[in-house]
Amino acid sequence: MAKQSQNPYRHPFVRWIEHRLPIISFFEHTLKHYQVPKNLSFLWTGGFIAGFMLVVMIITGILLAMHYIPHPDHAFDSVERIMREVNFGWLIRYLHANGASLFFLVVYMHMFRSIYYGSYKSPRELLWIIGMIIFLIMMATAFLGYVLPWGQMSYWGATVITNLFTAIPWVGDSILEWLLGAPYVGAPALNKFFALHYLLPFLMFLMVFIHVWALHTNGSNNPTGVEPKTAEDTIPFHPYYTVKDLLSITAFMVIFAFFIFFAPNFFGEPENYIPADPMVTPAHIVPEWYFLPFYAILRAIPDKLGGFVAMISSILVLFALPWIDRSKVRSLTFRPISRALFWVFILDVIILGWAGAKPAEGNYIIIGQFATAYYFIHFLILVPLVSRFEKPSGLPESLSAYYKNSCHD
């Protein structure tokens, strides 16, 4: 009886549902009554676009799987068949292939946003870590998916990356065999990779829900990094940010459509239109652009195990970021030295990406080594030191005060 009286809905059908599954009030609570800082910039729509891209990738992926054959004798041809024979197969494949690149673009933007505005700081450390786990699963999914067309780059990318595990002392070779289901990359590996490539996105989907759950527990950070204090500081998520998200998505779709219809192979490697040949390694193996900085770090260390450890560490160090950065002030807007360091860091990542795309010889290696060294110096020395001693400047009393004082209102 008590429950009945809590049911605020009039419509009999809505009342009927709500009484049995309080899903209507759940959505009202998470959208309409969810108060969000009023000053979020377009950078805060990245999460929504990323979630949207995950759904696009799952839908197009399921459709591709209906025509794809995960066997070395048929994989390449079945992809070409999708391109030439299957109705709108070209569209679905280009959506999926370019979608992967743009998905990474949005996720990197989302991550750099969090770094710039200190969104990983207390009480959002776990939110950040869950996001990093999603990023790890996403990288694994992208790697597995790139193997499936079974072109030269697919095959040799798979060989090089899986062989990384042989760097692990003692058990490396056994782990490699276990992963590949054979002592080499072949039919068992392709079959397995396809199964995992289909599975992992659903794991990501689950993690996204946990990510949003953690987000809604403490609410969004905002460009000032100052927690909202009064009702004046916030607005309801719906309709204000649902509309902002949709506007961003519209702009994003223009870019997405440009690549699909006008430059569908912009992100691809021509080498991958040559069927895989286990006897011939292409002269120049490069991963997709979104892995290039990590690939540069791998190659920077002239030791097999060392390179592997450096690459893994470059990702793991991000997990520890909430504890590496000691400053209580979140937004770099009020931390001039850290802000400068942030942009140097961005430059460093771009240099790493550039070096990763070049052949592993001469000056490219040396540049990659310096950039790798700086990557770790940034996280292990500069950020901990600067965040401890830097004096923040111009930190406003409240979120609203910032906009009143700086006459942005």
Partner 1 sequence: MNATREELSEKGKKRRDFITLTATAMGGVLAGSIAWPLLQSMNPAADTLAESITEVNLAPILSGAALTVIWQGKPVFIRHRTQQEIAEAEDAPMSALPDPQTDKSRVLKPQWLIVTGICTHLGCVPLGQKKTEPRGEYGGWFCPCHGSHYDTSGRIRKGPAPTNMIVPPYTFVKEDLIRIGESS
Residue span binding partner 1 (CB under 8 A) among the ranges 2-10, 55-63, 91-99, 276-284: 276-284
Distance between CA atoms of residues 82 and 88, nearest Å: 8
Nearer to partner 1, 179 or 317 (CB): 179
Is 117:332 a contact under the CB 8 Å cutoff?
Answer: yes
Q: Contact between 28 and partner 1 (CB under 8 A)?
A: no
- Using the rule CB under 8 A, which residue among 43, 56, 164, 315 binds partner 1? 164
Residues numbered 340 to 369 that lie near partner 1 (CB under 8 A) are 359-361
Nearer to partner 1, 181 or 392 (CB): 181
Task: Please give the size of the binding site for partner 1, defined by CB under 8 A.
Answer: 37
Residue span binding partner 1 (CB under 8 A) among the ranges 24-32, 83-91, 185-193, 237-245: 185-193
Q: Are strands 234-236 and 35-37 parallel, antiparallel or unpaired?
A: antiparallel
Shortest distance, CB of residue 163 to partner 1, whole angstroms? Answer: 4
Residues 6 or more apart in contact with residue 70 via CB below 8 angstroms: 148, 190, 191, 193, 194, 195
Q: Contact between 182 and partner 1 (CB under 8 A)?
A: yes
Q: What is the 3-state secondary structure (H, E, C) of 42-92?
A: HHHHHHHHHHHHHHHHHHHHHHHHCCCCCCCCCHHHHHHHHHHCCCCHHHH
Distance between CA atoms of residues 174 and 170, nearest Å: 8
Residue span binding partner 1 (CB under 8 A) among the ranges 159-167, 333-341, 349-357, 388-396: 159-167
Shortest distance, CB of residue 180 to partner 1, whole angstroms? Answer: 8
Residues numbered 288 to 307 that lie near partner 1 (CB under 8 A) are 299, 302-305, 307
Catalytic residues: 216, 220, 244-245, 288
Could you give the string, one character per residue 190-229, with x where binding to partner 1 holds by CB under 8 A and - elsewhere?
--x-------------------------------------
Shortest distance, CB of residue 73 to partner 1, whole angstroms? Answer: 14
Shortest distance, CB of residue 160 to partner 1, whole angstroms? Answer: 4
Question: Long-range contacts: 99-103, Cβ < 8 Å, 24+?
Answer: 99/53, 99/56, 99/57, 99/60, 99/256, 100/57, 100/142, 100/145, 100/288, 101/259, 101/267, 101/288, 101/289, 101/290, 102/53, 102/252, 102/255, 102/256, 102/259, 103/50, 103/53, 103/54, 103/57, 103/138
Shortest distance, CB of residue 167 to partner 1, whole angstroms? Answer: 8
- Using the rule CB under 8 A, which residue among 58, 90, 125, 186 binds partner 1? 186
Helix, strand or coil for residue 15?
helix
Distance between CA atoms of residues 298 and 231, nearest Å: 49
- Using the rule CB under 8 A, which residue among 17, 126, 168, 181 binds partner 1? 181
- Amino acid, res. 250: T
Q: What is the binding site for partner 1 (CB under 8 A)?
A: 156, 159-164, 166, 177-186, 188, 192, 278-285, 299, 302-305, 307, 359-361
